[in-house]
Structure 1
Amino acid sequence: MEELGTIQVLVNGEKLSLPDGATVQSAIDTAEAPYKIGASVGILKKSESVRSESVREYRVKTTKGELRLEIIDHLSASARRWMEDFRQYEGISLRWGSKDATAFGPFSESLKPERNLTKLDKYDVAFSAGGYNPSNFHLLFSLAEHSADYGAPEDGPFAKVVGGKKLLTSFERSDRILEIEPVIEWQESAKHLVTDDTNTILEDGDGLFTFIMVELALESPEGAEFFFGLIKDGFFEVDYESSSFISDTSLKGEICSFENFEARKDGAVWVRTAGYGTGKVFISRDERTASVVHSVIGHIQQGIELIHMAGKGHSIFVKTDPAPINILGMGFKEAEKHLEGLGVELVREGYKEDDANIVKLNPSSTIDILLAKKVIATGAPDSLVIRVELYDELAPKSVDFFRHAVGLTFRPIGTLPVMMIYEDTYLFKAAKSAEKYKEILPENVLVDKTKAFEIGITNQAAKRMGIVGVKTEDDDLFGPTGEKFSSTNIIGKILEPEKFKALTEKDTMYVLESNKEEIE
């Protein structure tokens, strides 16, 4: 009997009892749910009448983590058997594993084993009967494309692993299946609420969704880095929605390599790599065919419900698997400690002393580093790594140009080679010619005088558009780049002037952006 004065809710799929009057915030705190201030959360109201008649996906919770299965053919005997009694497979343990497959069991089944080869693709799921004995059935997960006689029913595989794929090669004999839950699909008419107000009161039966987990595709290392750049503040900002997808156009115009040609299933994350809208990132709400201009970079592993509820203007908190390896700007010792936990070896290059700052990685992408289990990190003396404050509110478009040009859009540290130094003027030219695809219209232009150590960029009113400059003394006549005031946009300031004044024309300045908390 339910305790008086409590409500039952689901928080990111986990059952939770809360007192009457509980808020979104209290549910987040009690469940220790992933959440970031400012994020939009989804609240799905209990409404049995709008559930889909057939369930397409199931969450399989194991001692190692969560798998997500998608039914291939609802009409097959194996699929029907699974849907009728999937809970009977809870509690079964890993029985055996090979390079081709891993299996949990045993259990009894009414299905008929066949003495035939079964063709399996990678990540297929099928029933298999050891010795063709109906009392010795197992749940088999395929690790590679192959054919073998597993005593499987005639219909072969009935499902596919679409989430948590990396777990399949990590299972040990002590691992078991803990719980299996259907992923209920809700029609758009289902009553729901999306809000960033964590004081919202929850009701009995509500489902609360606070984040999405994106499992990044190993086939898309560059796409993963592009996605990390998009969500570096933690959010997927929905600025367009349709019945088929939601999108974030923050990086529209940025180039991302095409890497992964595959069908875009519900929950697929992809980026447009060519044509109009290049750089836009989408998350699918339905099934779409593969496209030569849309590279799939990942899939929603958890929180697909939030994707279907969110609309234009909502900010979705995102976590990724794997998480980005953010060691640029770190010292070698700190980075080595961080990478040790990931099983990655760090090789020092360039300036190798302990007081160095890491300014470059090879390979440069998180996925490639994890696959190689090794990274060559180039260090630079601390004297060349200079903190800056950028004026986002005063010159948002110019600051956006600067970040793109020096590499701060996708990395925490940017590169800005010294072009020329004369008298009190330091000029820089970024290696990336962002002016080829981004405008620098006059914005936050100088009025009275140039202040020492403010960062200026020449706008398109002058020929040398895109040149970055800093003066070490105030100047009443010319801007930081030597241009007249009307041709100069002020985008920020140097926070470490003594380091800056020590730069020479042979140097490259490594730009480390300081956040508001550090400045204050």
Structure 2
Amino acid sequence: MKISVDGEEREVDKDAVLGDVVELSSGCVAGIIKEVEQVVQEKEREYQVETDKGDFTIGLNDSQHAEQFVEEIESIEELGVRWSSKKIAALGPFKSNVPIQKTNYNYQVGDIFFGVSGLDNDNTYLMLAREEHTKGYGTGGGVIGRIKRGKHMVDYLKEGDSIKEISQVKSREERYDSFYTNDPETELAPGMQIYSKISIKLGQAAPLSSEYFLRKTENNYLEVGETTDTYLKCNGRIRNLPAENNVRRGRGVVTVRNEGDGRGNIYLYKKDRPMHTNHNVIGEVVSGVKLLDILDEGCRIMVETRPKRMLSIGLTQEEAGQLFGNNGIKHKRVGETGDEAVVIRQEPRLTLDLKEGGVVETYGVDPERIMDVELYYEDASETTDYFKRVSRLISEDVGQLEVYFASQKISNVMFKGDQDLAGNLKPENTPNNQVAKGEIGITNMSKPNKGMIGIRLEDSDRYGPTGEGFKATNITGKVVNGLENLTELNDGDKIYIREIKPQAPAPEKEREKEKEIERESDFGSEEEIKGDEGR
């Protein structure tokens, strides 16, 4: 029997099941369309106006003037352009019941409105604003709506041109008999359309937002947090992000919210929406857009991005060379250049900048210089979040800390923090009787040096890793390998750290665990996205 899988026609056995044609992982679902119905319907508030010079579409508002327009369509269809200026084109006259009001109004480009000449309803005109201007046309505004499409046609209208027809806009939509599932034993039937993933092509106009999105989809999936008739929303979080590429949002467009509640949320649009300054348009769905219409809140969807993220931090120089070579990027090694050296810095940092420039430089260090740490997400969630932001582990596989104070005479090393970021760092996972060698601590908000980071070089039953008492110390993790790297440091030196992930939880607890540490995969700020380039 014939079916369609991600847009490609296939011939499969009559007893084929879902698992025979697609492979789903990480709890992702596939959308299955059993039948498609073509539906044509009129758009209640949209009208197409056909003129001698071309067509334009009016979107009506909810005013009484708009209702009068609908009532007067038969009269308006016979009108021609009576006069034309830089500011307006006026079609008429005709008789109407438009209320007379002698006040000025500020008209915007594309406004459609009623005007009367000589304050006489027998001389009513339908007027189209070509420029923003303030004037009184006898109706106190009289705006019925705006031109939605074909705004440029207004500039071509001149005296003598006329309206040929006004008709209600009709839309053609597909309605699906569809469902979603992750059951590989789901039986298939002839003609089914199966969508297992969406492919998203990123544009070049929003490199920071795109890098954030690439980080969020490194595991090749997104989880739907909310569905509406207009969009799917996937929850995210970011400290700050500039406005980038604020343009109209069409069906299939992908945006990242840059301001307001939900900063960092990702939106995938089912329907057209106008431009919004709080939404950065990063790309569009080029394959699998029908899947957006099928999914519900809580669904996971497989995501392919074009390009994929190209960040080499944490890879060896050899692995970095393979990554960039496979993507046509010229690669230069600096620092430690041996195959086994670990990359701790990459320039340029952003994937889209790499694609545009075609050249990258990676700085490597001896792997022995990298400390491995384990972080306490469950016991110190807020402190761990702060530590990952300061160290840049929030966005990179190898982080960095700068030494604030180191001396062989004391039993701890202290590193620079961020007092502004630590402003509300409450006591959390404070020690009771002892702090062990290798434990990582952060001074909480109870002391002036809030945000300071420290690591113990010896056990202590009196002081935390930053030299503070236990009540002022939040324990966020421990060094599991490479503690000896701290013994010969000087003020201003940098250390490199890599996180050792805890053992994966049992499958039935996986989703709950991920929600507890959701912030782990989010970015903190523009600077944290850009790494060294943003500092």
TM above 0.5, yes or no, is: yes
Q: Is the alpha carbon distance of 1:311 and 1:445 closer, same or farther for their aligned partners in structure 2, counting shifts above 3 Å?
A: farther
CA–CA distance in structure 2, aligned partners of residues 234 and 518 of structure 1: 18
Matched, 1:387 2:387: no
Assess if the C-alpha contact under 8 Å between 1:418 and 1:427 holds in 2. yes
Which stretch shifts more, 444-453 or 283-292?
444-453
CA–CA distance in structure 2, aligned partners of residues 23 and 499 of structure 1: 56
Assess if the C-alpha contact under 8 Å between 1:385 and 1:510 holds in 2. yes
**What's the TM-score once normalised by structure 1's chain length?**
0.65
How far did 1:477 drift? 2.3
CA–CA distance in structure 2, aligned partners of residues 304 and 502 of structure 1: 56
Aligned residue for 1:213? 199
CA–CA distance in structure 1, aligned partners of residues 4 and 365 of structure 2: 49
Aligned residue for 1:27? 21
| Counterpart code for 1:244 | T
Q: Is the alpha carbon distance of 1:433 and 1:224 closer, same or farther for their aligned partners in structure 2, counting shifts above 3 Å?
A: farther
Aligned residue for 1:95? none
Assess if the C-alpha contact under 8 Å between 2:401 and 2:496 holds in 1. yes
How far did 1:518 drift? 10
- SS of the residue corresponding to residue 406 of structure 2 reads strand
Summarize deviations over 1:63-93 as a string: whole Å, max 9, x none: xxxxxxxxxx9x9xxxxxxxxxxxxxxxxxx
1:14 is matched with which residue: 8, 11, 21?
8
* Cα root mean square deviation, aligned: 3.0
- SS of the residue corresponding to residue 435 of structure 1 reads coil
Aligned residue for 2:211? 225
2:35 is matched with which residue: 41, 47, 59?
47
How far did 1:432 drift? 9.5
Q: Is the alpha carbon distance of 1:266 and 1:480 closer, same or farther for their aligned partners in structure 2, counting shifts above 3 Å?
A: same
Assess if the C-alpha contact under 8 Å between 1:469 and 1:481 holds in 2. yes
How far did 1:240 drift? 2.4
Assess if the C-alpha contact under 8 Å between 1:213 and 1:318 holds in 2. yes
CA–CA distance in structure 2, aligned partners of residues 368 and 293 of structure 1: 23
Q: Is the alpha carbon distance of 1:208 and 1:394 closer, same or farther for their aligned partners in structure 2, counting shifts above 3 Å?
A: farther
Matched, 1:194 2:167: no
| Counterpart code for 2:235 | T
| Counterpart code for 2:20 | S
How far did 1:510 drift? 1.9
How far did 1:227 drift? 0.7
How far did 1:481 drift? 2.6
1:349 is matched with which residue: 309, 318, 334?
334
How far did 1:320 drift? 0.7
Aligned residue for 1:494? 479
How far did 1:365 drift? 0.7
Aligned residue for 2:413? 426
Which stretch shifts more, 227-236 or 265-274?
227-236
**What's the TM-score once normalised by structure 2's chain length?**
0.63
Aligned residue for 1:403? 388
Aligned residue for 2:263? 278
| Equivalences for residues 419-498 of structure 1 within 5 A | 419-422=404-407, 423-430=410-417, 434-435=421-422, 439-498=424-483
Which stretch shifts more, 498-507 or 462-471?
498-507
| Counterpart code for 2:321 | E
Assess if the C-alpha contact under 8 Å between 1:416 and 1:431 holds in 2. no
Aligned residue for 1:295? 280
Assess if the C-alpha contact under 8 Å between 2:369 and 2:482 holds in 1. no
Contiguous gaps of at least 5 residues in structure 2: 42-47, 51-171, 506-535
Q: Is the alpha carbon distance of 1:473 and 1:43 closer, same or farther for their aligned partners in structure 2, counting shifts above 3 Å?
A: farther
| Equivalences for residues 49-198 of structure 1 within 5 A | 50-53=37-40, 186-187=174-175, 190-198=176-184
Summarize deviations over 1:153-209 as a string: whole Å, max 9, x none: xxxxxxxxxxxxxxxxxxxxxxxxxxxxxxx9644xx34333444444444443322
How far did 1:325 drift? 0.8
CA–CA distance in structure 2, aligned partners of residues 412 and 199 of structure 1: 38
Summarize deviations over 1:446-505 as a string: whole Å, max 9, x none: 334222222223333443332222212222223323333343333222221344434513
Find the structure with the greater CA-based Rg: 2
Aligned residue for 1:305? 290
How far did 1:321 drift? 0.3
